[in-house]
Amino acid sequence: MNLRALLYFDELVRTNSMRAAAENLNVAPTAVSRQIENLEEYFGAQLVERSNRGIRLTAAGRLLAERAGKTLRELDHVHQLIDDLKGLQGGKVVLYANGATVANVIAPVLAEFSLLHPRLRFEVTISSAREAIEALAAGEADIAVTLFAPPMAGVKVRLSSEVAYDVILSRQHPLSKAEKITVVELMKLPLALPDRGFAARQAIDDLFGREKLEPDPLFVTSSLDMLKELVLRGAAVTLLPELAVRREVEAGLLSAVPIADGKAVRTAIDLCVSPDRQLTAAAKALVEFIEDHVRVANPAR
């Protein structure tokens, strides 16, 4: 049994084709074929079904595929840890984050951080909170930044920061200079809200629910950019964390007005890491940087 065989198999799983896998691995197709054969002999079971139109995993193959990827990533991870203790300041941080909301907090942080550590590389994947958590658990990600991290085993929340959702409106809007907006006033405005797939929407519905009201949004969208655009054009108002639109606010395009009576919608932004995986030096530095950043931005905590 050979590690290289696992590597080939892993690529084969991705491509579903011996020849394609061989191409990506820069080896001859026969090499891949042979290694898969070896693997099958070792496990004493057929791993793939050959056909003239590529290959397909058998049940046994799926079992192995699941582990093979993890195994290879874990060994890579050890390599990085060892590089760390040699003091090399290289490395890559793989980060999963969900939604454009978070991107607005992450982009500036990463920009600043990468200036401090010019030799680091970053891989940022935008995904749902669920995918981010799964990536953590599978060892694909170093860090996940999510809204409402599901309380799932295999995940450690390093930092949880509450953000309040303000009413976001165009500067031209009559209420844009208001100090506060009540929920009742909000009901009368044309609303653009994220669709029900978003954790934020859940919290928004709760807000209205507590007042025994039901919002009748004019627009429902899964794109946060769309929300912004609609508000910028004066077509609607929406609810978003102030930090998601800070740039537009500072440019004088939008206003963020709190909801009255401290009834603001609140959502937690969670910074998660894997508990049974040691962070690389690069990932550790980034986590601590983010923690500091949030502490500065949100000194109340």
Partner DNA sequence: CTTTCGTGTTGCGTTTTCGGCTACGCACCT
Partner DNA sequence: AGGTGCGTAGCCGAAAACGCAACACGAAAG
Residues at the contact surface with DNA, assessed by CB under 7 A: 2, 4-5, 17-20, 22, 26-31, 33-38, 50-55
Cβ proximity to its own copies: between 179 and 276 the closer is: 276
Instruction: From the list DNA, its own copies, none, pick the one residue 52 interacts with, judged by a Cβ distance below 5 to 8 Å according to partner type.
Output: DNA
Look at residue 79 and give the partner it binds from its own copies, DNA, none, a contact being a CB closer than 5 to 8 Å depending on partner kind: its own copies
Of 261, 182, 230, 229, nearest to 217 by C-alpha is 230
Question: Residue 169 — φ and ψ, nearest 5°?
Answer: -140, 165
For 185-217, the DSSP string reads HHHHSPEEEE-TTSHHHHHHHHHHHHTT-----
As given in the structure block, the two tokens for residue 123 are 């891989």
Beta-sheet pairing, 121-126 with 254-257: unpaired
30 binds, among its own copies, DNA, none (CB under 5 to 8 A by kind): DNA
Interface with its own copies, residue 115, by CB under 8 A: no
Cα(27)–Cα(4) distance, integer angstroms = 12
User: Which helix (H) or strand (E) element contains residue 268?
Assistant: strand 265-273
For 269, the 3-state DSSP assignment is strand
- 29-88 binders of its own copies (CB under 8 A): 42-45, 59-60, 63-64, 67, 70-71, 74-75, 77-79, 81-83, 85-86
**Considering only residues 154-213, where is the footprint of its own copies by CB under 8 A?**
154, 156
Residue 234 amino acid letter? G
Please state the closest distance from residue 259 (CB atom) to its own copies, in A: 36
Residues at the contact surface with its own copies, assessed by CB under 8 A: 1-4, 6, 42-45, 59-60, 63-64, 67, 70-71, 74-75, 77-79, 81-83, 85-86, 137, 153-154, 156, 275-276
